[in-house]
Amino acid sequence: GVGKRDEEIREALKEDILLLNLESEAEMKRVAIIAEELGVEARISIRVNPNVDPQTHPYISTGLHENKFGVSIDTAKRMYIYAKKSPHLNPIGVHFHIGSQLTELSPISEACEIVADLVRSLKAIDIDIKFFDIGGGLGVVYDNEVTIKTSEYARVISKATKDLDVTILMEPGRYMMANSGIFLTRVLYEKQNGDKRFVIVDGAMNDLLRPSLYGAYHKIEAVQKDGEKTPADVVGPVCESGDFLGKDVELPLLDNNDILIVHSAGAYGFTMSSNYNTRGKVAEVAILDGKDYLIRQRESFEDQIRLEEACDTSWL
């Protein structure tokens, strides 16, 4: 991310990780100081912001100059030259990540070509870039999106980098996780406000934020429940009208304790969850070879207040 704290930089250097992706000149100077303190040489890569519109939701677009991420090509060149001269920095990589949930190939191809050109100009001045980190971004199917074929993705990347002698690194988090996980929630009540039908469930925006944050779509289905389907908003108990998991979802009439499946919750689900409204975080269950394993316990009220401390009121 754009704001690495000293202790995070120190830990990364002590752990001797492959490289640190730097997001600003100020951060680079901080890394050099910490590397000097530790008596090590930091292997670094610079996150370039190629100013390419990734054609995704503005909150998950990261490759335009108006976004906080990375540095311009000109700044990157200056940083590489500085790093090359520094005894505490070893510039061995380049990085870009233009956005998440990308479903168009052309912005990726454009960004690859821009960054590959940068690598060529760096190699020409003896800065030997060995790692070409293309970030994540590969979109997945939540609804009926037409996504990028991985073979096409590989083709544009290898086309841009074929003469560069670099190792490709990638970080496709959503692609690996989103459709590997579901979120299960229980129905509490049905409710009708005028013409509007609501299904109130025990899951909420604190558990799965994407619908509230981005208006994101997640397919929702009732488990083993038949009957005529009509549209309903699936909403949680949190004190916000923005607390919904789905809008106008076609569902049969539901009863207390019925279970709904909220699909595609494996990425940006639990990791984005919070304790808003003093709601404990959910339990996590992994399924392996048809067997289920509890891999994270449901959070209790005691877990939530464990770190709280009383004020000293003796002066009152």
DSSP 66-87: TSSSSB-HHHHHHHHHHHHH-T
Please state the closest distance from residue 212 (CB atom) to ligand PLP, in A: 18
Please state the closest distance from residue 91 (CB atom) to ligand PLP, in A: 18
Which region among 120-128, 166-174, 207-215, 291-299 touches ligand PLP (by CB under 6 A)?
A: 166-174
Please state the closest distance from residue 138 (CB atom) to ligand PLP, in A: 6
For ligand PLP, the closer CB: 108 or 205: 108
Q: State yes or no: residue 173 binds ligand PLP (CB under 6 A).
A: yes
Q: State yes or no: residue 88 binds ligand PLP (CB under 6 A).
A: no
Please state the closest distance from residue 171 (CB atom) to ligand PLP, in A: 4
Which region among 4-12, 169-177, 222-230, 252-260 touches ligand PLP (by CB under 6 A)?
A: 169-177
Q: State yes or no: residue 132 binds ligand PLP (CB under 6 A).
A: no
Q: State yes or no: residue 54 binds ligand PLP (CB under 6 A).
A: no
Q: State yes or no: residue 135 binds ligand PLP (CB under 6 A).
A: yes
Characterize the bridge pairing of strands 259-262 and 220-222.
Answer: antiparallel
Q: Annotate each residue in 260-289 with x if it binds ligand PLP (CB under 6 A) or - if it does not, as one string.
A: -------x----------------------
Please state the closest distance from residue 175 (CB atom) to ligand PLP, in A: 6
**How big is the site for ligand PLP, counted in residues (CB under 6 A)?**
12
E strands, 87-223, where?
Answer: 89-95, 131-133, 167-169, 183-193, 196-201, 220-222
E strands, the chain, where?
Answer: 20-22, 42-47, 89-95, 131-133, 167-169, 183-193, 196-201, 220-222, 230-235, 244-251, 259-262, 284-288, 291-296
Residue 46 backbone dihedrals phi, psi, to 5 degrees: -115, 130
Distance between CA atoms of residues 109 and 168, nearest Å? 14
- Give residues with Cβ within 8 angstroms of 42, minimum separation 6: 13, 20, 31, 32, 34, 35, 88, 89, 90
Please state the closest distance from residue 94 (CB atom) to ligand PLP, in A: 13
The per-residue b/e assignment along 190-201, b for 16 or more CB within 10 angstroms, e otherwise, is beeeeeebebbb
Which region among 133-141, 191-199, 221-229, 283-291 touches ligand PLP (by CB under 6 A)?
A: 133-141
For ligand PLP, the closer CB: 9 or 235: 9
Q: State yes or no: residue 107 binds ligand PLP (CB under 6 A).
A: no
Partners of 89 in beta bridges: 42
Which region among 24-32, 132-140, 224-232, 302-310 touches ligand PLP (by CB under 6 A)?
A: 132-140
Token digits for 169?
Answer: 């690194």
Distance between CA atoms of residues 233 and 126, nearest Å? 59
Token digits for 255?
Answer: 């009863």
Enzyme catalytic residues: 239
Q: Which of 250, 233, 229 is nearest to 242 (CA)?
A: 233
Q: State yes or no: residue 100 binds ligand PLP (CB under 6 A).
A: yes
Partners of 235 in beta bridges: 200, 244
Among 113, 171, 240, 299, binds ligand PLP (CB under 6 A): 171
Q: State yes or no: residue 175 binds ligand PLP (CB under 6 A).
A: yes
Among 43, 77, 97, 279, binds ligand PLP (CB under 6 A): 97
Distance between CA atoms of residues 240 and 242, nearest Å? 5
DSSP state, 126?
T
Q: State yes or no: residue 25 binds ligand PLP (CB under 6 A).
A: no
Which residues in this chain contact ligand PLP in the complex, by CB under 6 A?
A: 97, 100, 135-138, 171-175, 267
